[in-house]
Every structure is written in C-alpha cells, then in structure tokens.
Structure 1
Amino acid sequence: MEITTKNFSEQLDDITKNLKRSCFVGFDAEFSAILSGETFKHRLFDSNEERYDKLKSKVNQMIMTQIGLTMFQYNRDIDTYNAVCYTFHLCPQVFGDIDQSFIFQASTVKFLCRHNFDFNKFTYFGLPYLSKAEEEVIKQQLEDNTLFQNLSRSLEIEDERLLQSCCSEVSKWLSNSEEGTLYLDIKNPVLRYITHNEIRMRFPGVLTTDSLGNSNKVLIYRDKLVEGANSAPKTVLEENLKAHLLGFSQIIDLLASYKKPIIGHNIFLDTILLHNQFIGPLPNKYSTFKKNIHELFPNIYDTKYISHEMAKMLTFDEVWKSNALQDLYEFFSERKCKKLEQGVNPIRLSIPFAVKQSYHEAGWDSYCSGYCFIRLGHWAACVISGKNRPVGPRETLAAMSPYCNRANTIRGAMPYVNFIGEDPKSHRPNVLHIKALKDRVINVGQVASTLANFGNIDIKPYGSRTALIATSTQYTADKILKQFKNSREYRISEFSVYKHSVASRVAMWSGAILTGSLMLYFFHRKMK
C-alpha cells in the first residue's frame, strides 16, 4: 500500500497495529542522489571509519525519498508468515526557521525515471518528517512561546492573504450575523494552527476548535453560551501541529519503541541516511554514529552480509550466482536449490503487488529483503536442529543471532560494520609497496593497467616514486609478488612501516645520526 499525505492519518492506526503484531520488519529506501565520483569510490584500502568519513560529508545533501516497510506477522496455527507492505513517500518541508534541503542529481533523476518513480507523489503528497534535533528546536520554541511569532513572520504572501481573509470573515460574522457558529475551511495544518491563534488574539471572546469529522475546518463559537461550545486547549492545538510536522517520523518512533528487528539489504548507507534524516546531523566520531543507530534500532540484520557468509555452506552448483537483492530473492522464490526448500514456511502478501513490480520500489524491495531473511533463517535453524521443518520467528532469530547488528561493507578492508562493538580486523592481505626503478615519478595509471590482469586491486600514491597496492585476495598478492620478483621496472614487496614509511626512515636516520654524534662527542672528550 502506498502512503502519502492523502491517506497517512486514516491509515496510521492500522500501520501501528500491523507493526505491533509483526515479528520483524523489512526495510528499504530510495535516495535523491547516488554517491559517485572518485572521492566516493569504494576502495580495498578503506577502513569502515574512513568509509564513514567519506560518506558523512555527502549525505547532508541527500534524502530518502521513499521508505518501504514490510511487517511480517506469523500465524502459528498454520506456520505461515503474512506480509503487510507499505511504501511511504517522503518530501522535505519548510517550517519557520527549519528549511530542509537536498539535491537531485541528473543521473539519479534518470535512474528514478527508468524505474517509474512518481515525482508528483514526492512533491505534492510526500510525507513531512523531522529529525530529533529539529523536533527539539520546535519543542523549545513552544516552551518559549515564540513559535507562533516565528511562523507569522515567515508566512508567504498567499498564506498571509488567506489569514487576513479569514479574520475579515470572522469580523463580519460577529458584526452582521446572529449565527452561533462559523466554519473556516483551511487545508494547510500549519496555517490552521496560526489561524486558531490569530483569531483568539484578535477576538478574545470567541472559542475555536477543530471541526469533528473534518480536520480541515476550524469551528468558531461566538461565545461560551452557545450550546456545545468549547475551545480546544492550546496543548491540543500544539500536539496536532507537531503530529503533522513529524509525519513519517512517527513511524520511526514506533519502530524504535517496539524494538522490532529491522531487516535490510546492504543497509550501511541506509543507516547513515537514517541518522541524518531522523536523528540529526552525523557526528564526527564513527563510534558515536554506531552508538546512536544501535540505540534507535537495537537489532539490525543485513541479508547482503548474511547471504555472503552462508553461501560458504553450499557448493558452487548449489549456491546463488549473485547475492544482489533481485538475484537472491529469485533464487529462493523460484526454488532454485531444492534442498533449501524442504519444510519451508509459506510467505503470503496481504495485498499482492502489481504484476510488473519494479525492484527499485522501496516497498517491494523491503518485502524481498524480509522474504530472503526468512528463507536464510529457516535454513540456519534447520541446520542447527538437524530437521527440515517449518520454523517460527523466535527460532529464526535465534539461528540468525551470529549475524545480528552486522552490516555489509562494499569493497572495503573490513567485511562488515559492527554496530555493537569493535569492527573486525581487515580480512584483506597485507598491502604491497611498489617502487618505480626507472622513472623518477611513478605513473599510477600505468601500474594499474599493468596489474589489471592479476585480479581485483586498488592503487594509491605513496610518494613521488612509490605507491601502495591493496589486493582482494592473498592469491592475487602472491601472483604479483612472484611475477615481479626480478623485475627491472618495479620493485614490489609487502609493505613495512619501518622499512617503507617516510616518518620511520626519518626517525631511524635521526636516531643513527644522534647516536653517532654522541659517540663522537664522548670519543673526543676521552681523547682530550
């Protein structure tokens, strides 16, 4: 089901109930930009902290335009999972001092068009949201009684005219009519809040409240003597305003409150954007970022990482050829490995997707992530028990616990991000050091071309005549070392800090010179 400003309020109760009944939640997001360019190229050298530092400066300009959530509920009587899927359309908002911004890359727009992204739903009906930091700003302004003044000052001309028109209508009604009530139709929730306050300030005798059954209408009573007359408390008006401004952030709060396990595919970048969009600006420290994410979502599972690890349990003929989300989902849904399909739990969608479902639609991808997680969890649980049979969510989560809070790292020095402790050590071979023997300046591009046939490598300069080489496997590193053992063009060896670091060489020579100087000094004194 697609959720926009048109149906969010009426669907919120059902979303809350479905979330509460779920055993875990599939998650996916679509972004307004794609990280590209040399600066953001994934390199074998990168530690997770270095990767985070590269990303945090860029994602300030990115937002999640779509978030997909699939709530998987378990029917124990028939050992079946029921999947309730939502696609939430999001759009930044301007509110008083808060003016959320983002960029749309041309390449991203082209990509989204190719996958039938609906820009009208994004711009006209996208849900608002606030980060925790922005929410605190609004709470403080409410406490200081400055929010109304700030909003009034920032009104656009059309809204200012509408507000003045409403006040004129109230004035005429009070002067020329004996009717006890008046209705004003104001669709914008922010302007509706301002109108309540403005009318109460200009006409102290009247009472205002929201019309029952129609949230767009402001109901005005002439005075307290009118039958049924009451004035909505200030706190109620403020809560209504905050509920509108929070928008999708209410769903994030529900996810955090219920502490449901979150299932994603290649979820590291998603967590960085989640922090920036719903917690606040990314912290300078990578460890603080991990701590904040873990406090928000204490149980995260990444099917990209899990499938990479569990693939080692299958033979070449049995295993999926790629663990990209589409390939992994089709591997399980099309039952391509029969031995993994024995005793599996049926998974049913409560509302079927369209026949031509796009894989880059957030709701569908969130369903695929959860589907793959259930299949992987079933397999892991059956291996532990030694029986191929239906498996419930508790047993699934217990079997998948070794993979909890570990997010895949794309082409980095470390295999995963650990949200609850120290990251693992590098799983790559030792870095190689290369020195040009003939040229005074090493040509990194030429070196890369020369070594391209040896396997997956990355190269970065390390001096005028030297560079460092990172390889994906020890096999690749050994081939390079063997091939260039007697080369007259390059000298290649395993990198050593003491041998190859400029600072270490300076320190050694400085130590040698100092030692030699002291020896000469004492020898000279002795001769005297």
Structure 2
Amino acid sequence: MEITKQNFVEQLPNITKDLKRSCFVGFDAEFTAILSDEKFKYRLFDTNEKRYDNIKTELSKIIMTQVGLTMFQYERDLDTYVAVGYTFHLCPQMVGDVHQSFVFQASTLNFLCKHKFDFNKFIYEGLPYLSKAEEEHIRQQLTDGTLFSNLSRMIDIGEEKEVQQYCSEVAKWLINSTDETIYLDIKNPILRYIVHNELRIRFPDVLTTDSLGNSNKVLIYRDKNVISATSASATVLEENLLSHLLGFSQIIHLLVSYQKPIIGHNIFLDIVLLHNQFIGPLPNNYSTFKKNITAMFPIIFDTKYISYEMAKMLTFNEVWKTNTLQDLYEFFAQGKCKKLENGVNLIRLSTPFGEKQSFHEAGWDSYCSGYCFIRLGHWAACENSGVYRPVGPREKLAALAPYCNKVNVIRGAVPYMNLTREDPPSHRPKLLHVKSIKERAIDVGKVATVLSGFGSIDIKPYGNRTALIAAGTQYTAEKILKQFKDSKEYRISFFSVYRHAPASRAVIWGGALLTGSIVIFLFHKRVK
C-alpha cells in the first residue's frame, strides 16, 4: 500500500498493528542522488572508516524520497508468512528555522524516470519528517515559547494574508452575527496552529478548539465559558502540530520501540542515510556512527552479505548467477535449486504494492529482501540440523545469528562492516609496489591499463616513479608478480613499509651514509 500525507493518519493504526505483529521487517529506500564521482569510487584500498569519511559530507545532502517496509507475520497453524507491505513517500519540509535541503543529481533523475518514479507524489503528497536532533530543537522552542513567533516570521505573504483573512472573518462574526459558533476550514496544520494562537491573542474572550470529527476545522465559541465546551490546551495544540511535523518519523519511532529485526539488501548507504535523516547530522567519528545506529536499530541483517557467505556452500551449477536483489529473489522464487525447496514456508503478499511491482520501487524491494531472508534462514537452519524440514521464524533468526549486524561492503579492503564490534581485518592480498624503470614519472593510468587483464585491481600514486596496487585476489597478485618478474619497464614486488616507505628509505640511506663515514674515518685514522 502506498502511504502519503493524504492517508497517513488514517492508516497509522493499521501500520502500528502490522508492525507489532511482525517477526521481522523488510526495509529498502530510494535516494535523490547516487555517488558516482571519481572521488566516491569504491576502491580495494578502502577501509570502512576511510569510506565513511569520504562519503559523509556528500551523503548529508542526499535524502530518502521513498521508504519501503514489509512486515512479515508468521501464521503458525499454516506454517505461512503473510507479508504486509507499505511504500512511504517522503518530502523534506521547512518549519520555523528548520530548513531541510537536499541535492538531486541529473543522473539520478534519469534513473528514477526510467523506473517510473512519481515525482508528483514526492513533492505534493510526500510525508514530512524530523530527525531526532530536529525534533529536540522544535520541542525546545515549544518549551521556550519561541516556536509560535518563529513560525509566524517564516510564513510567506500569501499565508500571512490568509491569517489576516481568518482574523477578519472572526471579527466580523463577533460584531455582525448572533451565532454562538463559527468554523474555519484550515487544511495546513502549521497555519492552523498559527491561527489558533493568533485568535487567542487578538480575541481573549473567545474559545477555540479543534472540531470533533474533522481535524482541519477550527471551531470557535463566542462565549469562553460555554458549558460542555473546552478550549484545546496549548499542550494539545503543540502535540497535534508535532504529530504532523514528525510524519514518517513516527514510523521510525515505532521501529525503535518494537525492536524488530531489520532486513535489507546491500544497505551500507541506507543506514548512513537513516542516521542523517532520522537521527541527526553524521558524526565525524566512524565508531560513533555505528554506536548511534545500533542504539536505535540493534538487530540488522544484510541479505547481500549473507548470500555472499552462504553461496560458498553451493556448487557452481547450484548457486545463483549473481547476488543482486533481483537475481537472488528470482533464484528462490522460481525454485532454481531443488534441494533448498524441501519444507520451505509459503510466503504470501497480502496486498500488491501497485499495478506494476518492479525492482527499484522501495516497497517491492523491501518485500524481496525479506523473502530472500526467509529462504536463506530456512536453508541455514536445515544445514544446522542436517534435515530439510519446516522451520519457524525463531529458528531462522537463530541460524542466521552469525551474520547479524554485518553489512556488506562493496569492493573494499574488508568484507563487511560490523556494527557492534571492531571491523574485520583486510581480506585482500598484500599491496603491491610498482616502480617505473624507464620513465621518470609513473603514469598510473597506463599501468592500470597494462594490468587490467590480470583481474580486479586498483592503483594509486606513491611518489614520482612509484605506485601502490591493490589486487582483488591472491591469484591476481601472484599472476602480476610472475608476469613482471623480469620486466624491463616496471619493477613489481610485495609492498614493504621497511623497504618502500620514503621515511624508511631515508633512514636506511642515512644509516648507510653514517656507517660509511665512520668506516672511512676509522680507516683514515688507522693509516695515520
């Protein structure tokens, strides 16, 4: 089901109920930009900390425009999973001195257009949201009594005229009419809050309250002391306003409250954006970022990483072609490995996400991530017991526990990000050191072209005539060393800090010169 600001309030009780009943939640997001510049290119040299440092500034300009959540509920009697899916459309907001901004890349626009992204829903119907830091800032203004004045200052000329028109309408009613009540229909929640407060300041003898059954209407009583009517307290007005401003953040609060396991596919960028958009600005320290994420979402599974590790248990003819989400989902959905199909649960999607359920639509991708998680969990549990049989959700989660909070890292020095512990050591071979013999200045582009046929590599300068090479596999590294063993153009060897670092070389040469000087001095003295 698609959720916008038109149906969010109505559907919030159902979303809450579905989330509470779920055993785990599929998650996916679509962004406003893709990090495609050269400086954001994934490199085999990268540690996770280095990669985080490279992208944190740029990611602070990017937002999630669409979030998919699929709640997987287990029906024990039928041994069936019912998947209840939601696609939330989000749009940044300006409230008081909180100005949310973002960048839309042209390449991303092309990508979203290709996949039929609905920009009207994003702009006109997208849900507002606040990060934890922004919410605290707004609440502090409510405590200080400064929010009303901040909101009043920030409204545009058209909205200011609307407020004046509503006040004039009430003034005329008080003078010219004998009716005991009047309604004002104000759809904009921020404007409605401003009008409530403005009327109370200008007309202290009237009573204003929200109209029962229609939250858009402001009901005004002529007599402040009218029996059976109570004014909406300032606290009620503030909470109503906050509820609107929080929007989708209320769903984030529910996820934090219920502590359901979060299932995604290749979610490194997703969780960085989760922090920036719903916790607060990305911290400078990588370890602080990880602590902040796990404090809110303590159980995260990445099916990209799980499938990469578990693929090692299948033969070449049994395993999936690639572990992209689409290939992995189709592998399990089409039963391409028969031995993994014994005793599997039925997974039923309760309602379609839309007319065209397609990949790169956040809701559908969240469903596919959870679907693959169930199949991988069934396989892992059956391998543990040695029998392929029906398996419940608790046993699946227990079987996949070794993969919990390990997030896939694309083309990096380490295989995954560990959210709760230190990241693992590098799984790549030792770096190679290359020195140009013929040229006084090494051309890294030329070297990369020469070595490209040996396998996956990255190269970076390491002085005027030297560079470092990171190879994807030990086989690639050894193949390069063997091929260039007697090369007259490049000297390539395993990198050694002692041999190749400039400081080390300076120490070695300095030591050699000092030793030579002492030897000459002693020899000269002895001759004398």
Residue equivalent to 2:250:
250
Q: Which amino acid aligns with 1:115?
A: H
> Counterparts in 2 of 1:45-60, with a 5 A limit?
45-60=45-60
What secondary structure is seen at the aligned counterpart in 1 of 2:28?
Answer: strand
1:32-58 Cα deviation digits (max 9, x unpaired): 001111101111111111111111011
1:307-330 Cα deviation digits (max 9, x unpaired): 000000000000001100000000
Q: Which amino acid aligns with 1:76?
A: R
Residue equivalent to 2:276:
276
Is residue 380–residue 399 contact of structure 1 (8 Å, CA) maintained in 2? Answer: yes
Residue equivalent to 1:326:
326
Is residue 223–residue 229 contact of structure 1 (8 Å, CA) maintained in 2? Answer: no
Identity level (%): 72
Is residue 340–residue 379 contact of structure 1 (8 Å, CA) maintained in 2? Answer: yes
1:519 positional shift? 8.4
Gaps of 5+ in 1: none
Residue equivalent to 1:140:
140
Residue equivalent to 1:345:
345
Residues in 1 aligned to 2:409 and 2:324: alpha-carbon distance in whole angstroms: 14
Say whether 1:69 aligns with 2:69: yes
1:513 positional shift? 5.2
1:409-452 Cα deviation digits (max 9, x unpaired): 00001000000010000000000000000000111111111111
> Counterparts in 2 of 1:7-46, with a 5 A limit?
7-46=7-46
What secondary structure is seen at the aligned counterpart in 2 of 1:57?
Answer: helix
> Counterparts in 2 of 1:74-93, with a 5 A limit?
74-93=74-93
Residues in 1 aligned to 2:91 and 2:515: alpha-carbon distance in whole angstroms: 67
Residues in 2 aligned to 1:306 and 1:83: alpha-carbon distance in whole angstroms: 21
Q: Which amino acid aligns with 2:268?
A: F
Is residue 431–residue 469 contact of structure 1 (8 Å, CA) maintained in 2? Answer: yes
Is residue 180–residue 226 contact of structure 1 (8 Å, CA) maintained in 2? Answer: no
Residues in 2 aligned to 1:523 and 1:245: alpha-carbon distance in whole angstroms: 86
Residue equivalent to 1:407:
407
1:226 positional shift? 2.8
Residues in 2 aligned to 1:518 and 1:11: alpha-carbon distance in whole angstroms: 86
> Counterparts in 2 of 1:482-521, with a 5 A limit?
482-512=482-512
Residues in 2 aligned to 1:523 and 1:221: alpha-carbon distance in whole angstroms: 111
Q: Which amino acid aligns with 1:189?
A: P
Is residue 85–residue 353 contact of structure 2 (8 Å, CA) maintained in 1? Answer: no
What secondary structure is seen at the aligned counterpart in 2 of 1:18?
Answer: helix
Q: Which amino acid aligns with 2:491?
A: R
Gaps of 5+ in 2: none
TM-score normalised by L of structure 2? 0.97
Residues in 2 aligned to 1:59 and 1:444: alpha-carbon distance in whole angstroms: 29
User: Are the structure 2 counterparts of residues 527 and 134 from structure 1 closer, same or farther at C-alpha, using a change threshold of 3 Å?
Assistant: farther
Is residue 86–residue 353 contact of structure 2 (8 Å, CA) maintained in 1? Answer: no
Residue equivalent to 1:122:
122
What secondary structure is seen at the aligned counterpart in 1 of 2:60?
Answer: helix
Say whether 1:182 aligns with 2:208: no
1:206-257 Cα deviation digits (max 9, x unpaired): 1111111111000111123434221011111000111110100110111011
RMSD across aligned positions (CA):
1.7
Residue equivalent to 1:206:
206
1:94-153 Cα deviation digits (max 9, x unpaired): 111011111111111111011010000000000000111111111111111111111111
1:247-304 Cα deviation digits (max 9, x unpaired): 0011011101111000000011000000010011101110000110111100000000
User: Are the structure 2 counterparts of residues 515 and 385 from structure 1 closer, same or farther at C-alpha, using a change threshold of 3 Å?
Assistant: same
User: Are the structure 2 counterparts of residues 515 and 75 from structure 1 closer, same or farther at C-alpha, using a change threshold of 3 Å?
Assistant: same
User: Are the structure 2 counterparts of residues 205 and 517 from structure 1 closer, same or farther at C-alpha, using a change threshold of 3 Å?
Assistant: farther
1:161-207 Cα deviation digits (max 9, x unpaired): 00000001111111111111111010000000011110001111111
Residue equivalent to 1:6:
6
1:510 positional shift? 4.0
Residue equivalent to 1:299:
299
Deviates more, 1:387-396 or 1:12-21: 387-396
Is residue 31–residue 66 contact of structure 2 (8 Å, CA) maintained in 1? Answer: yes
What secondary structure is seen at the aligned counterpart in 1 of 2:161?
Answer: helix
1:384 positional shift? 0.9
